[in-house]
């Protein structure tokens, strides 16, 4: 866990959360789509990007924030984020 750091940025009324691995090679963040749906974005320096739709409208920003923090500190960041979201009963789907 010593290899990772996370940063949080807040903007407007909503909370936009962005977390970077300390080595700069991985990123996870929460964004809102044009339709207002929340999405988790996972990005790796190699160009791989995965977008997850938050299917659970009742999921709180605090729970999502906690899951992203937990995930960025995992050895496998994407797997860590998915496991942390599942542990909080937050349903996600891979965006098309």
Q: How far apart are CA 35 and CA 7, in angstroms?
A: 26
Q: What is the pLDDT of residues 6-34, one digit of tens each?
A: 444 444 345 557 888 777 899 999 988 77
CB neighbourhood size of 42 (10 A): 20
- pLDDT given at position 9: 40
Say if CB 30 and CB 9 are below 8 A apart.
Answer: no
User: Tokens at residue 9, please?
Assistant: 């940025």
| pTM (2 d.p.) | 0.79
For residue 55, give both structure tokens: 């299917």
Of 56, 32, 51, 26, the closest CA to residue 41 belongs to 51
Check residues 6 and 85 and name the one with the higher pLDDT: 85
Q: How many percent of the chain have pLDDT more than 70?
A: 82
pLDDT > 90 in the chain, percent: 52
Three-state DSSP at 22 gives coil
Give the span between the Cα atoms of 10 and 13, in whole angstroms: 8
């Amino acid at each position: 866990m010593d290899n990772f750091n996370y940063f949080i940025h807040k903007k407007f009324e909503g909370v936009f959360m962005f977390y970077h691995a300390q080595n700069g090679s991985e990123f996870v963040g929460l964004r809102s789509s044009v339709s207002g749906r929340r999405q988790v974005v996972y990005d790796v320096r190699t160009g791989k990007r995965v977008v997850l739709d938050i299917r659970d409208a009742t999921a709180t920003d605090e729970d999502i924030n906690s899951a992203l923090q937990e995930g960025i500190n995992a050895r496998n960041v994407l797997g860590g984020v998915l496991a942390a979201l599942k542990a909080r009963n937050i349903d996600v789907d891979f965006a098309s």
